[in-house]
Amino acid sequence: MASMTKRLDKSGQIKDTILGIGKWILIVFFAAYTLLPLIWLTISSFKTNFEVLAKSPFALPEVWQFKNYHNALTVAGLGRMMLNSVFVGVTSTVINVLVASLAAYTISRFKFKGKEKLFLLFTVGILVPLNALMVPYFLIISKMGLYNTYAGMIILYTAIGIPMSTVIIRGLMDSIPMEIEEAAYIDGCGSFGRFIHVILPLARTGIVTAATFQFLTCWNEFVFANLIVSSDKLRTIQVGIRYFTNQFSTDYVSMYAAIVISIVPSILGYVIFQEQIISGMTSGAVKG
């Protein structure tokens, strides 16, 4: 009897070990799948074109070519493009979050006719395939006289993020107890005062989440930036990368450097704002 339990334990242990090994194979595989191409790209960005074309892709560069980065920044004007992306991203994030917070506040705090229908409009907005609206977006922006302007990009980015931001921020505002606001109301604080002094500070985690999500969307956006801007002075980083593929069609290494430069802020920002980004992207998803 005793020996039997022992044997059973043993086979159980073997099973556990196999499962354990299988688990780690999976964990490492997915990490390697994500990281190795990025590492390869980064190392390649320091090679010469000859090394990339004629030598093994696994070899290290003989001399680390920092001038590729210099090329990407100066010849291609990557610096300007990054500034454009930051400017458009920050501006539209600030406006977006302000507009969405105001809307979320009224929807969350007040009873009025058609309120939930209005909110439904916002949630449905999240599901609309925006890429299908390229023609009208192009025409609306052109009709407004905003083709090829910062303002055109800013208003479009602000608008397409409104449904998502409103849904995220409302979710948080709903969780703020009414009593807190009522106290301020009795103290004679008007709607705007309550919004600024009571609700905004309490809702800041939701606002930061929405803002992070919005900024990331703007930073990575390509389709519309490509659609409504033609001048190279206004080009954002993503459109820039697209142009490098033509411009640097033979100069691979400068293009690699350009891609690395565009990825680094995304990764850094993500590592810093990880919790906000994850909760923004998942809460939006669960709602959608």
Partner 1 sequence: MKPTKSDRKVLIAFLAPAVALVVLFFVIPVIYVAVVSLLKWNGLTSAEFKGIDNFVALFKDKAFLRSILNNVIWAATAAAIQVPLAMLMAIILSRKPKGWKFFRTVYFFPQVISGIALATMWRHIYNAESGLLNGLLRLVGLGHLATDWLGGMDTALPSVLIYWVFYVGYYMVIMMADITTIDESYYEAATLDGATPFQQAIHITIPLIKGTSLLTCVTLASVMGLRQFEQVYLLTNGQPANTTSTIVLYLYKQMQTGNYGRSSAAAIVLIIVGALFIVTIRKLFEDHKKDPKRVIEKEAK
Find the binding residues for partner 1 in span 143-182 (CB under 8 A): 155-156, 158-160, 162-163, 166-168, 171-172, 174-175, 178, 181-182
Q: Which residues, 201 to 220, sit near partner 1 by CB under 8 A?
A: 205-206, 209, 216, 219-220
Nearer to partner 1, 73 or 107 (CB): 107
Q: How many residues does the structure list for the chain?
A: 288
Q: How far is the CB of 203 from partner 1 (least distance, A)?
A: 11
Residues 151/83, Cβ–Cβ less than 8 Å: no
The yes or no reply on residue 138 touching partner 1 (CB under 8 A) is yes
Q: How far is the CB of 77 from partner 1 (least distance, A)?
A: 17
Binding partner 1 by CB under 8 A: which of 63, 110, 116, 231?
110
The yes or no reply on residue 26 touching partner 1 (CB under 8 A) is yes
The yes or no reply on residue 50 touching partner 1 (CB under 8 A) is no
* Span from 65-73, 75-83, 132-140, 146-154 in contact with partner 1 (CB under 8 A): 132-140
Q: Which residues, 62 to 101, sit near partner 1 by CB under 8 A?
A: 99-100
Which tokens in the block code for residue 50? 């000859």
Nearer to partner 1, 66 or 192 (CB): 192
Number of residues near partner 1 (by CB under 8 A): 107
The yes or no reply on residue 102 touching partner 1 (CB under 8 A) is yes
Q: How far is the CB of 41 from partner 1 (least distance, A)?
A: 5
Binding partner 1 by CB under 8 A: which of 7, 17, 19, 62?
19
User: Can you spell out the DSSP letters for the chain?
Assistant: -HHHHHHHHHHHHHHHHHHHHHHHHHHHHHHHHHHHHHHHHHHHTTS-HHHHHHS-TTSPPSS--THHHHHHHHTS-HHHHHHHHHHHHHHHHHHHHHHHHHHHHHHHH---TTHHHHHHHHHHHHHS-GGGGHHHHHHHHHHTT-TTSHHHHHHHHHHHHHHHHHHHHHHHHHTS-HHHHHHHHHTT--HHHHIIIIIHHHTHHHHHHHHHHHHHHHHH--HHHHHH---TTT--HHHHHHHHHHHTSS-HHHHHHHHHHHHHHHHHHHHHTHHHHHHHHHHHHHH-
Candidates 145, 164, 264, 262; CA nearest to 213 is: 164
Q: How far is the C-alpha of 35 from the C-alpha of 45, rounded, in Å?
A: 15
Binding partner 1 by CB under 8 A: which of 86, 94, 118, 208?
118
Binding partner 1 by CB under 8 A: which of 191, 200, 202, 208?
191
Binding partner 1 by CB under 8 A: which of 3, 11, 131, 246?
131
CB proximity list for 46: less than 8 A, separation 6 or greater = 61, 64, 65, 66, 68, 253
Binding partner 1 by CB under 8 A: which of 4, 5, 6, 33?
33
Q: Which residues, 221 to 250, sit near partner 1 by CB under 8 A?
A: 222-223, 238, 241-242, 245
Binding partner 1 by CB under 8 A: which of 10, 13, 17, 37?
37
* Span from 62-70, 71-79, 86-94, 265-273 in contact with partner 1 (CB under 8 A): 265-273
The yes or no reply on residue 251 touching partner 1 (CB under 8 A) is no
